[in-house]
Structure 1
Amino acid sequence: MGMTQPGSNTEVLTEAECWKYLRSSYIGRLAVINGTAPEIFPVNIVTAEEALYFRTAPGTKLRSLLAGAAVALETDGLNAYSTEVWSVVVKGIPEPVEDGVLPLELADPDREPWEPGLKEHLVRIDPTEVTGRRFAVHTRTRWWPPLDFSSDWT
Structure 2
Amino acid sequence: MDMAASLQGLAGGVLIGLSAVWLMATLGRIAGISGILSGLIWERPAGDSAWRLAFLAGLIVGPLLLVLAGGGLGNVAGEPGAVIGAPIGGTGLMLVAGLLVGLGTGLGSGCTSGHGVCGLARLSPRSLAATLVFVAAAMLTVYGVRHVLGGGA
TM category (shorter chain) comes to under 0.3
When normalised by structure 1's length, the TM-score is: 0.24
Higher-RCO chain (CA-CA 8 Å, sequence separation at least 6): 1
TM-score between both structures, scaled by the size of structure 2: 0.24
More strand by share: 1
